[in-house]
Amino acid sequence: NFSPLLPSSGSKRYNRKPQPKYELIQEVGRGSYGVVYEAAVKRTGARVAVKKIRCHSPENCCFFA
């Protein structure tokens, strides 16, 4: 069973623990669906907004990177 979306199990990249792309700086708001943070992209330092969505049933949630 080959999946083009996942590296092979022998890949060094596959065995590494993923590192966060963003550093959360401060909470800027809360709403019905989650919490919004001011964050910085670790690689570039660019300031962005990151929304952390509450999901009580993971099987019903979609995750995007």
> What CA–CA distance (Å, rounded) separates 16 from 21?
14
Residue 2: what pLDDT? 45
Tell me whether residue 52 is annotated as binding: yes
Domain definitions of the chain by residue range: 19-53
Model confidence pLDDT, tens digit, residues 6-63: 555 555 555 667 788 999 999 999 988 889 999 999 999 999 999 988 877 767 666 6
Query: What pLDDT, on the 0 to 100 scale, is given for residue 21?
Result: 92
CA angle 13, 41, 16 (to 5 degrees): 15
- What pLDDT, on the 0 to 100 scale, is given for residue 14? 57
Q: What is the C-alpha separation between 62 and 56, in angstroms, rounded?
A: 12
In angstroms, the Cα distances linking 29 to 33, 46, 49, 50 are 11, 19, 10, 11
pLDDT of residue 25: 96
